Amino acid sequence: MASTVLDSVLFRDAFGTPSMRGVFEDAALLSRYTEVEVALARAQGRLGVIPAAAAKDIAARCDASRLDLERMKLETETVGYPILPLVRQLAAQCGESGKFLHWGATTQDIMDSAVVLQVRDALTLVERDLDAIRAILVRQAKRYRDTPMAGRTHLQQALPVTFGYKLAIWLAMLDRHAERLEQLRPRVLVGQFAGAAGTLASLGERGMEVQKALMDELRLAQPVATWHAARDGLAEAVNFLGLVTGSLGKIAYDVMLMASTEIGEVAEPFVQGRGASSTMPQKRNPISSELILAAAKAVRQHAGLMLDAMVQDFERATGPWHAEWIAIPEAFILTGGALHQAKFMLDGLIVDEARMRRNLDMTNGLIVSEAVMMGLAPHLGRNEAHDIVYDACRVVAEKGGSLAEALAKVPEVTKHLDRKALEKLTDPANYLGAAREMVDRVIGDRPHYSHLRSDRK
């Protein structure tokens, strides 16, 4: 039986996705280990480091699906690592040719290269979902480009914005993550093959040549220097996930607040029974947003763990390396789950434009007091204009009425602005600044930083 939310029958598809779990499941990991061992034999056979016939035999006969997993488990617990038990079984599959398996390699070479292959697949899934969410946000930002709503700072109404402006800010964050993803690939998708202390000494003068041939087989970059104990690449990948889920968490937090009963400007997509309470039939909880926020918090912990694991001893680490085995799969699975929830939530987001307008008008013009102050400033000076509008705002707050009505009773104001001008200045829809232009700038002629490509496996 599963014991964590990532594998639980109840929770695994709330916090992850089948496709991302498939990248990191045991069978996939063992397949990647085997792929690296076979690729190494192919490379060495092509270069004459091992007999070409043995390399061909190894490639034909190594089969991860035939591994005895119970034996692998027991021997891994004894050895502390899975590669020696793996090599024993694969060598047995290959008969006489098996003695040339794992030639000149060390355990960490195979495990590191395999995890990079997993990360390559996982990043492709992340990219796919990022692209989908960005496309949704482009559509939504266009639709709500001109929809005025209250902008809020410190949880208080501040100045008017548009909902499209808010969506464009979310979109711009994810555009930057797409750019980061393209930039980090060359740094992260680098294989490992360096031997016991990282010097390739066991292969003599052929070491670097074999290393290059192996990376060509795996379609990974050749390392400039051994990174057995220099873990910045994988740390960058997981911290990138922390950035992505951090942005998704910000979006989810906004949606949860806007969906609260008192604000009521948006709601997550309606699905019969989703978000229901066991005791309060009226409840419709923002489930996707809650799951995104929880995943974001967990991924940040794994990002911190990867930074901690960068501090390693000498040429080959002790415990810090093992911490990566925990952090990398869990961070990717949680990120996959958060992206999946964000796609669902944003694609079907229910937007109440009328409620946005009512909330915008609830302060009777106070939300645009700055507009009136700036309208009066050329006539009275900024400081005096500020004080006059401040006093008028207090009148509205204490006695009711609108800001335009209060200002219409102030001689210093009516001397320069008539009632029509005051009504115009106190209409929130007339004080949107460059919000709409910013939407256009984000969604129009913007660079597309990432695209799904068929050559990425």
Gap between the Cα atoms of 54 and 220, Å rounded: 24
Return d(Cα 182, Cα 450) in angstroms, integer.
7
Helix 163-188 with 107-143: angle, nearest 10 deg: 160
- Phi, psi (deg, nearest 5) at residue 397: -65, -35
| Contact between 353 and 147 (Cβ < 8 Å) | yes
The closest alpha carbon to 433, from 111, 160, 73, belongs to: 160
In terms of Cβ atoms closer than 10 Å to its own Cβ (0-12, 13-18, 19+), residue 396 is buried
Helical pair 107-143 and 319-347, crossing angle rounded to 10 deg: 20
For residue 27, give the amino acid letter. A
Contacts 24+ apart (CB under 8 A), 304-311: 306/231, 306/234, 306/235, 306/238, 306/239, 306/331, 307/235, 307/239, 309/231, 309/235, 310/231, 310/232, 310/235
- By annotation, the residues acting in catalysis are 154, 277
Name 267's bridge partners. Answer: 350
d(CA 413, CA 434) in angstroms, rounded, equals 27
Measured CA to CA, the distance from residue 120 to residue 122 in angstroms comes to 5
Neighbours of 49 (CB within 10 A): 22
Please report, for residues 153, 347, 354, 359, 363, the alpha-carbon distance to residue 264 in angstroms, rounded to integers and kept in the order given.
18, 18, 10, 9, 16
At position 228, the amino acid (one-letter code) is: H
Tell me the pairing of strands 148-153 and 266-267. Answer: unpaired
